[in-house]
Structure 1
Amino acid sequence: MDEILPDIDRDLDVIFGEFRDHQVVQSFVQSVRDARFTGTLYIGYPVLTIDDDRIEFDAVLISRDHGVLIFDLYSFDGGVPGIPTQIPPKVVAKQEQLYAALFNKLNSFRELRRGRSLMVDLVTITVHPLVDTFVREDDALLIGLNRLGEIRLLEPADQLNDEQIRHLNAAVQRISNLKPQKKRDNVVRHNSKGAAIKEIEQQIANLDLWQKRGSIEYVNGPQRIRGLAGSGKTVVLALKAAYLHVKRPDWDIVVSFNTRSLYQQFEALITRFVFAQIGEEPDWTKLHVMHAWGGADRKGVYLEAANKIGCQYRDFGTAARLFGYETAFDGACKEVLTALGDRELELYDMILIDEAQDLPPSFFQVVYRMVKEPRRIVWAYDDLQNLGDFYMPSEAELFGYDAQSRPRVSLRNEVDHPQQDIVLPRCYRNPPWTLVTAHGIGFGVKRNPMVQMFPDPKLWLRLGYEIKGGSLAFDHDVIVDRNPKSIPDFFSRLLTPGDSLQTSRHTSAQEQYTWVAKKIKHLIDDEELQHSDFLVVMPNVRTSRSTGASVLAALRAEGLQGHIPGQTSSRDEVFREGSIAITHIHRAKGNEAPAVFVVDAQFCEGENEIKRRRNILFTAITRSRAWTYITGIGENMGEIEREIAEIRAANYQLAFHYPTREEVRQLAVSSDSAQDELPLGNDEFDDIRLALKKARQIPWDKLPPDLRRDLMDVYGQGA
């Protein structure tokens, strides 16, 4: 797991933003490596302003033994042939402009000031790509690529410490303005839960290695970001959208998602990030925050596509009646694809998609037609937050194949190139024991039979786990645990497993809701939490209206105010001051709270749709930033309690038998790996034969519309 926290005293971490010339950058990076520089090297980043001018940085290095180096890669003009002995005035002016812009940015952070000066000197360097030269004029430097190693090191007493490096990176990455909005003036006791969450919220918001890659690295084409719940995917996408909007203000960029409440979150984050760079509001005529579907009151990606080609728009109710409740959006997008034929829409320069696990492949194929070449599409997802009963398709399955049967999209990572496939392994939202429990319950590793499993065993390591025993391989016993490097240290200082993760089984639904209300009242009155710190999640969407009313009544009986987004308050506003949020799982997605109550958790165990139900429970648990309470009734709740108790007894390590390659196909969470190694077996053909035999016994007009449509898709109109 060294890749989570690179050794900046030995390694060079290169982050590739959007840059001008591939050959120039590759030569420069190789020269920096040859000179044995260490630290973090930003390429094409950041973008700042000075005197109302937009300043794009070619490269910036933050290093313990070199301090801050600003590189100008493109502006040198050597004039007459030969080795230059002077630096041209326009090159000096360029360096002064770069210096002033970054100085002003860093000087706005008190942590980076020492009296009236910065705690570190900024050095500006213009790199000559061809000539072996080293010229110093006052504070300006002109250096040939082969002589970068001659740049003077800082004296030992002046070298940067870990805290200074963190603050510098946070300032350059523009995420220091992610500090908490809540003041929490009600907190007076140092050992209350309110005090604990206040300290958690005040931790420095510094991007880790893979978050830096996800938010800054620019691939001139498709890019995938996979991450745990709470790993910062939404922040990463907002940062990337803001950065590219500032860097390329002429581009039409779309940010899309599945959960409506993310509208406000994305708009707020993007506004803050754009303002942090250039001191201006985003241009919302060029940067579009859109729901994946859209509706009468909001723009949407599907809605835009349907309107553009004159295809009839389907709202959810209509689509559900036509195509089935679970496949409503898939059917609507397939209609657009059919109407499109071979046409390309090419409406946008870039589309970024959050919550990709909840969107069907047909949506991605519509997006592919909407984005101009070179198809700048970025999608982020967490396999286990999939609220449907299906696995996350590979990039080839998502975007389909061309006329020559070649995948339209394929991803690969190469050294010293922008990463096309990024995993975010560090979880900043959930305590480690809560995350391990959520994975254990989501996969059903203590359940017989198991619910699901990654088709590539190594993905456990990439997501921040380590092997504690056995072998992480097909058909082997294994024990995994969170890697210490993937865990922020504040969790163990401020929280304990027994207090922050609890279950409660009840004899009736009403007894359960009363217990929840009394517990919330205690946490507000005695533990200094606030009303807006709570999220009550209902796993069963279809009964959420009646369940929500019962929970709301129980809260009112305790003198507490509550609201149900979409029923008693705006559907786009989940949290409000002075009121407890009660919502179903789909609206809870994309949100988080210090304390989460998962009510009626018994819904997440049973014979039918078990993968979908366990994904729902995983998603509900991982909404919590500190305290999680899982409640329910009946035998199914007893099974969930049993599994959690086994995980707790193992000290929050997961011990299980990894499925065989053949079993993985049925249990697969994602089809990114192993798919080519698992051909369809005879038993699976037998399943198809049995299903067709049953279908032949039912008249065509009696089959559900979505099933008729699927059969026609596979076998043609004459099916």
Structure 2
Amino acid sequence: MAYMVPETIPRNATTGERILFESLKEHLPGDYIIYYEPEIRGRRPDFVIIGPDLGLVILEVKDYTKATLYQINHDEWTLRNTAGELITTKSPLKQARDNARLIQDQLKKDKSLVQENGSYLKFPYGFGTVFTRLKQEDFIKLDLYHVIEPQFVLCRDEIDPNEKEFSPETLIEKIHGMFTVWNQRKNILTEEDIQAIRFHLFPEVRISAEFKAPISHQDQLLLSLHNIKTMDLHQENIAKQIGDKHRLIRGVAGSGKTLVLASRVKMLAKAHPEWKILVLCYGIPLSRSLKQLIHQKIDEPDDLLDLINIESKSHHKDSNIEVYNFHEWLKNRLNMKDTEIPNLLEKLNNKEAIVPSYDAIMIDEGQDFEPEWLKLVSECLNPATQSLLLVEDRAQSIFKRKTSLAQDIGLDFRGRSKVLSINYRNTAQIVQFAWDFYQEHSQLKNKVQEGSVEGIEIIPPQSTRRKGPEPFIKGFRNIQEEMNFVSKSITFLHQQKNIQLQDIAILYRVKNSHRISYIDEIRNSLKEHNLAFTWVTESSESKRNFVRDENTIKISTIDSAKGLDFRVVFIINIENMPFTLEEVEEREVSLFYIGMTRALEWLFLTYSGQSKFTQYLDKVINGRSLQPSNHIQSG
């Protein structure tokens, strides 16, 4: 069964398109990707098929009947519309060929997709037409094969399983025959090739890439990108399948929820430039990071390999997009505090107040939003669009939602939920370690259900194959020794592992106790070791001025690190967890889980005292084998 993007065809598709969609899905191989009406460089080919042993095929779909056709030739078709008027259009085969050439020209700019000894793509590309209301016998009677050769045509009886002439083998064979240039190689497209094709054709799925130096070829400059990273197909499908009305995305830490949300913003802004879009989250640092990510996606040229585009970066109009953390939005747009929300909701109910209106609203960290916050936000949603996207992870929940979303905001998400269960952020070792801790300590472990999307079940994460060192755990006699170890480890990682300071974070639970200032010890130690740092959570102003890419170590509370990630994370003073003044221990369990899953590759857990959590870590140390460790050595 082929992989479809989107996974279900939109409601406005024609009957013929639906039949073709289901046939391609059912009968093409499982490693084929099929896009329905993707937007590529301002055009929308009906179907784009990518297959490892196929290459790339573009299909143009027409629902013409015998009565529709008036006069046709190789170049132009004159058609009779439903009103009886005659209209002239380009030949369907020419339309398909032009779309294929557009895609070919786009992909040929990347030298990694071009043959070494020529300027052709290293894989075949083809094109064809599908006539959903004409059968092969109609083509023969009307002499249509004289205008379009049989190899470039699929008729109704070749795509519809309900027709007695239909054969899956013939369907596959014909799609494999829609080429003007033949290539006999097998296994033509590697996973890297397919990722590169998606990267260039669909800007919204990009995560990152680096440029390789340009090389000259004949009279043209060929560029290439390496370390290309795109969303996986499931993430892409969710971003594109969200469709109309309200949607809920639930995902594990590191599954790309925020990335899907940012891509969704770009797609909506492109499709509806006049829409007012609101993006909200809970934490201030995440709101800054989210704003940077969204602006970067909006500003990024579709064609990264076009030197002119790169040099004169076009700035899309994004003044219609607002990105805030919730309390900032309350203050700036409604001039109020959260304690005043119940009064405003009552006034809105009595039609005695007006709130700003948005055509689309997206909420990250939705698990931390109080029911009345969600209720207020939903009151600001344009009833005509009902485009609300709620993104959440129950295992990261700081506050507990006691009622259902239907009760909170009057919207029922049953059948409108999607799950992202694969953790892409962390190594397999970090994912497993954090999840083991969560399962042992969470009071919600009976809520853990594989693949559940309704209610408040926790989704167990699945890790990627990316490996790394086990989390490093170490206890010390005092905070000075602890911080000396942290600073020496950072120096080692920076100098020996070439890790930039901006990719390192130190997370703490409390900044001081009645007898010691932890934050002073952190800062003093880093200064002694000549390590530049930014205390992100020093004040509201420092949170608002947070710049993720500033080349400094980031010092932050665990709370404020939500939604962010770093190659290296140190969680210190773990003896302060669970915090004695926190009434709900479950919140502390979630916080520690959040902190650990901020780490992409290296996780260091240190402490110089005792608590329930450090006792667990001591038990892990004792349980580890005495074999040589793969942890980094420092100092």
For the residues of structure 2 that align with 1:26 and 1:255, how far apart are their CA atoms?
34
Query: For residue 450 of structure 2, what is the amino acid of its counterpart?
Result: K
1:627, distance to aligned residue in structure 2 (A): 0.6
Out of 402, 410, 413, the position equivalent to 2:413 is: 410
Residue 354 of structure 1 aligns with which residue?
364
* Residue 368, structure 1, aligned to residue 338, structure 2: no
Query: Partner amino acid for 1:229?
Result: A
CA contact (8 A) 2:507 2:557 kept: yes
Contact kept? 2:65, 2:133, Cα under 8 Å: no
Q: How far is 1:533 from its partner?
A: 2.2
Instruction: Say whether the 8 Å CA contact 1:62–1:168 is kept in structure 2.
Output: no
CA contact (8 A) 1:426 1:487 kept: yes
Which of 478, 503, 509 is matched with 2:479 structurally? 509
Partner deviation per Cα, 1:336-356 (whole Å, 9 max, x = no partner): 322311558682221122111
- Tell me, yes or no, if structure 1 residue 487 matches structure 2 residue 467: no
Give the structure 1 partner of residue 105 of structure 2.
Answer: 104
Tell me the equivalent position of 1:153: 176
1:336 aligns with 2:364: no
Size of the aligned set, in residue pairs, is: 551
Q: In 2 relative to 1, CA 112–550 (structure 1 residues): closer, same or farther, beyond 3 Å?
A: same
Instruction: Look up the equivalent residue of 1:102 and give its one-letter code.
Output: I
Amino acid of the residue matched to residue 95 of structure 1? A
The 5 Å alignment of 1:572-651 reads: 572-575=545-548, 577-605=550-578, 608-636=583-611, 637-642=613-618, 644-645=620-621
Give the CA deviation at 1:276.
Answer: 4.1
Q: Does 2:203 align with 1:178?
A: no
Residues 354 and 380 in structure 1, CA contact (< 8 A), matched pair in contact too:
yes
Provide, for residues 187-221 of structure 1, a one-character-per-residue CA deviation record: whole Å limited to 9, x for no partner. xxxxxxxxxxxxxx975413223212222213211
Provide Cα deviations, 1:270-303, integer angstroms capped at 9, x if missing partner. Answer: 3444434376433213333333232xxxxx2x45
Tell me how far apart the structure 1 counterparts of residues 123 and 64 of structure 2 sit (CA, whole Å).
Answer: 26
Matched, 1:458 2:450: yes
Q: CA deviation at 1:576?
A: 5.1
Partner of 2:422, secondary structure, is coil
Cα offset for 1:597? 0.6
Instruction: For 1:90 and 1:147, locate their aligned partners in 2 and report how far apart those are by CA, in whole Å.
Output: 24
The verdict on how the C-alpha distance between 1:384 and 1:35 changes in structure 2, with shifts beyond 3 A counting, is closer
| Matched residue SS, 2:6 | strand
Shift of 1:609: 1.9
1:305: how far off? Answer: 6.2
Give CA deviations for 1:338-385 in whole Å, capped at 9, x if unaligned. 231155868222112211122122222222222223411111122222
Q: How far did 1:233 drift?
A: 1.2
The corresponding residue for 1:292 is 326
Whole-angstrom distance in 2 between the partners of 1:66 and 1:83: 34
Q: 2:190 aligns to what?
A: 162
For 1:399-478, list aligned pairs within 5 A. Answer: 399-400=409-410, 408-412=411-415, 420-443=416-439, 445=440, 447=441, 450-453=442-445, 455-459=447-451
The one-letter amino acid of 2:405's match is E
**Partners in 2 of 1:258 and 1:287 — Cα distance?**
17
> Displacement, 1:454?
5.1
Contact 1:257–1:353, Cα closer than 8 Å, also in 2: yes
Tell me how far 1:618 sits from its aligned partner: 0.7
Q: Is the 8 A contact 2:526 2:533 kept in 1?
A: yes
**Distance in 1 of aligned mates of 2:274 and 2:364:** 23
CA shift in 2, pair 1:367/1:339, >3 Å = same
Gaps of 5+ in 2: 78-88, 140-144, 160-170, 178-182, 213-224, 304-308, 628-635
Matched, 1:69 2:57: yes
Q: Which runs of 5+ in 1 are unaligned?
A: 1-9, 184-200, 295-299, 307-311, 315-328, 401-407, 413-419, 463-472, 474-479, 652-719
Displacement of 1:313 in angstroms is 1.0
1:36-91, Cα deviation, whole Å (9 max, x unpaired): 4651122232x233xxxx32343322123432222334686876359988662424
Structure-1 residue corresponding to 2:33: 40
1:635 is displaced (CA, Å) by 2.0
**CA distance, structure 1, for counterparts of residue 262 and residue 9 of structure 2:** 16
Tell me, in whole angstroms, the C-alpha distance in 2 between the residues paired with 1:519 and 1:182: 31
Match of 1:549 in 2: 520
Q: Judging changes above 3 Å, is the alpha-carbon distance between structure 1 residues 139 and 130 closer, same or farther for their aligned structure 2 residues?
A: closer
- Computed over aligned residues only, the root mean square deviation of the Cα atoms, in angstroms, reads 3.9
Q: Pick closer, same or farther for the CA change 1:240–1:576 going to 2, 3 Å.
A: closer
Aligned position for 1:562? 533
Question: Which residue of structure 2 aligns with residue 225 of structure 1?
Answer: 249
Pick which of 504-513 and 347-356 moved more: 504-513
Q: Distance in 2 between matches of 1:645 and 1:427?
A: 25
SS of the aligned residue for 1:161 comes to coil
Tell me how far 1:509 sits from its aligned partner.
Answer: 2.8
Q: Distance in 2 between matches of 1:27 and 1:228?
A: 35
Q: Deviations 1:375-431 (Å, cap 9, x if unpaired)?
A: 11111122222233x25864324424xxxxxxx32321xxxxxxx322112222111
RCO greater where, 1 or 2, for CA within 8 Å and sep 6 or more?
1
Which TM-score applies when normalising by structure 2? 0.76
Matched residue of 1:130: which SS?
Answer: coil
Q: What is the one-letter code of the residue matched to 2:106?
A: K
- Out of 58, 66, 70, the position equivalent to 2:46 is 58
CA contact 1:594–1:626 (8 Å) conserved in 2: yes
CA distance in 2, matches of 1:72, 1:252: 34
**Distance in 2 between residues matched to 1:585 and 1:232, nearest whole Å:** 19
Matches within 5 A, 1:661-672: none
Separation (CA, whole Å) in 2 of partners of 1:128 and 1:28: 10
Q: Secondary structure at the match of 1:210?
A: helix
CA contact (8 A) 2:569 2:598 kept: yes
Letter in 2 for 1:277: D
User: Aligned to 1:620, what secondary structure does the other structure show?
Assistant: helix
- CA deviation string 1:434-491 (max 9, x = no partner): 1121122233x1x5xx53325253248x9xxxxxxxxxx9xxxxxx9976xx423xx3
Change (3 A) 1:121 1:268: farther
8 Å CA contact 1:441–1:644 kept in 2: the answer is no
Deviations 1:497-550 (A, max 9, x none): 2xxx11122233333223322222232233332222210011237879953332
SS at match of 2:302: helix
Query: Are 1:213 and 2:198 counterparts?
Result: no
Whether the 8 Å contact between 2:435 and 2:593 is mirrored in structure 1 is yes
Aligned equivalents of 2:23, 2:355: Cα separation in 1: 42
Is 2:245–2:387's contact at 8 Å kept on the other side of the alignment?
yes
Alignment partner, residue 317 of structure 2:
283
